[in-house]
Amino acid sequence: MKIFFLDQSGKPGGAELCLIDIAKPYGDRALVGLFADGAFKELLQQNHIPVEVLATQAIQVHKEGTLVQGLKSVGQLAPLITKVIKKAREYDLIYANTQKALVVGALASFFSHRPLVYHLHDILSKEHFSQTNLRIAINLANRCASLVIANSQASKTAFIQAGGRSDIVEVVYNGFNPKIYQTDESDINQLQQKLGLQGKFVVGHFSRLAPWKGQHILIDALAKCPPEVTVMLVGDALFGEQDYVKQLHQQVADLGLENRVQFLGFRSDIPQLMAACDLVAHTSTSPEPFGRVIVEAMLCGKPIVAAKAGGVMELVEHGLNGFLVTPGEPQELAQVIITCLQETEITATIANNARTTASGRFDIATINQQIAQLLSDKF
Ligand code: UDP
Ligand code: GLC
């Protein structure tokens, strides 16, 4: 099967990293069409996945931007749509990986008579999107997509609650290669030395910097923890959240935590950095659709504390393979950090359990088989 993947982003967010793993097995039978240039294109190339930047001019792509804005820019970009329609004729299937890709993919599907699959990486609720945005996404998916792949039960439920057709939606979790998440002890020591982490209890946060990812909650929690606890913030503002970045730096300064918080920016050595942490924190204040970082922490054998909402509840069972806290509650988060600092043995047992179960449950080979099966059943 020849698949034409579409993604609006030039930057590697979670949906894009997931797409790399999905497209890879198709080799030259796949093409990833992007609406913007950037680091994501390079990652696809490194993975030997055919990629083309299709937009002739930059589209304003904000992850949380409205679809109306998206449609306007798409309207200005007739050349992009024409290109996508033409390309689509060379493939058996159009696979839209983001919402603006769904808009363009729906049009291309109509004109090229190719079926459309929509990989839903979002919780389509009012908490995340405007009413208009929701309506457009649901209507296009209902009318134009033959299959909607939701990244969690939570995303599937929200899709149906927003009016999405239950007969076209299936859940497939993100897949991972567990081997990538094994790091040598010597590499860990080196990294700890380089970052000045020795003798500290390091809480890592691995996410793009965005208000709903809740880095501010972790900083507030840190202020309530003993002085040996430090925080490493890994990730950058990918979709224009510069004000939030300023706000985070200000918060750190106001709380006098400059020596206990490191901002590392966007990094590609996530497994190594996670391995150098004592605990990984996930702090989203709105329901997380899936949460790749949670599974990644598990695969690294690191304890995870995560905000109890959305897809996270399908990944973490409190006290069994991680810890759950109420979203937006720094006091509760601080309490879990302190428990992990003090109860090292039980915390290590929980992290080991998580590693074992996550390696089986989210294995990329199994996940790719599930997708291949869904595609061959439908098309
Ligand atoms: N990530 C990365 N470098 C960074 C920060 C994050 O490669 O500096 C990766 C992280 O390992 C994860 C993805 O970005 O695989 C984020 O996915 P997630 O599902 O956690 O959240 P999203 O940003 O997609 O909402
Ligand atoms: C999106 C979601 C995130 C999910 C990722 C991969 O970016 O925000 O929760 O893990 O897609 O499906």
Q: How far is the CA of 198 from the centre of ligand 2 (A)?
A: 32
Least distant ligand from the CA of 235 = 1
User: How many angstroms separate the Cα of 138 from the Cα of each of 143, 158, 174?
Assistant: 8, 11, 22
Q: How far is the CA of 110 from the centre of ligand 2 (A)?
A: 27
Query: Which residues lie below 8 Å from residue 62, measured CB to CB, with a gap of 6+?
Result: 69, 239, 240
Q: Give me the pLDDT at residue 55, please.
A: 87
Question: Does ligand 1 have an atom closer than 6 angstroms to the CB of 267?
Answer: yes
Q: How far is the CA of 14 from the centre of ligand 1 (A)?
A: 5
Q: Give me the pLDDT at residue 239, please.
A: 87
Least distant ligand from the CA of 124 = 2
293 Cα nearest atom in ligand 1: 20
Could you tell me which of 289, 290, 319 has the C-alpha nearest to residue 304?
Answer: 319
Q: Give me the pLDDT at residue 61, please.
A: 46
Strand partners, 147: 117
Tokens for 259?
A: 């020596």
- Give the phi and the psi of residue 80 in degrees, each rounded to 5: -60, -50
Q: Give me the pLDDT at residue 72, please.
A: 62
14 Cα nearest atom in ligand 1: 24
Tokens for 308?
A: 């109890």
At 154, the amino acid letter reads A
Least distant ligand from the CA of 310 = 2
DSSP string, 237-260: --SS-HHHHHHHHHHHHHTT-TTT
Q: Which fold has domain 3-175+363-378?
A: Rossmann fold (3.40.50)
288 Cα nearest atom in ligand 1: 25
Compute the 3-state secondary structure of the chain and give helix, strand, coil in percent, each to the nearest 5. 50, 15, 35
3-state secondary structure of 142: helix
Q: How far is the CA of 353 from the centre of ligand 2 (A)?
A: 24
Q: Give me the pLDDT at residue 76, please.
A: 64
Architecture per CATH, 178-361: 3-Layer(aba) Sandwich (3.40)
Question: Does ligand 1 have an atom closer than 6 angstroms to the CB of 235?
Answer: yes
Q: How far is the CA of 254 from the centre of ligand 2 (A)?
A: 32
Least distant ligand from the CA of 204 = 1
How far is residue 20's CA from residue 176's CA, in Å, rounded to a whole number?
11
User: How many angstroms separate the Cα of 126 from the Cα of each of 123, 215, 233, 326, 328?
Assistant: 9, 22, 28, 20, 18
282 Cα nearest atom in ligand 1: 20
- pLDDT per residue as tens, the chain (379 positions): 999 999 999 999 999 999 999 999 999 999 999 999 999 999 999 999 999 999 866 555 454 556 656 556 656 678 999 999 999 999 999 999 999 999 999 999 999 999 999 999 999 999 999 999 999 999 999 999 999 999 999 999 999 999 999 999 999 999 999 999 999 999 999 999 999 999 999 999 999 999 999 999 999 999 999 999 999 999 999 888 999 999 999 999 999 999 999 999 999 999 999 999 999 999 999 999 999 999 999 999 999 999 999 999 999 999 999 999 999 999 999 999 999 999 999 999 999 999 999 999 999 999 999 999 999 999 9
Q: How far is the CA of 40 from the centre of ligand 2 (A)?
A: 15
Strand partners, 204: 232, 280
Q: How far is the CA of 208 from the centre of ligand 1 (A)?
A: 6
How far is residue 135's CA from residue 119's CA, in Å, rounded to a whole number?
17
Question: Does ligand 1 have an atom closer than 6 angstroms to the CB of 206?
Answer: yes
pTM: predicted TM-score of the whole model, two decimal places:
0.96
Query: CATH 3.40.50.2000: which residues of the chain?
Result: 3-175+363-378, 178-361
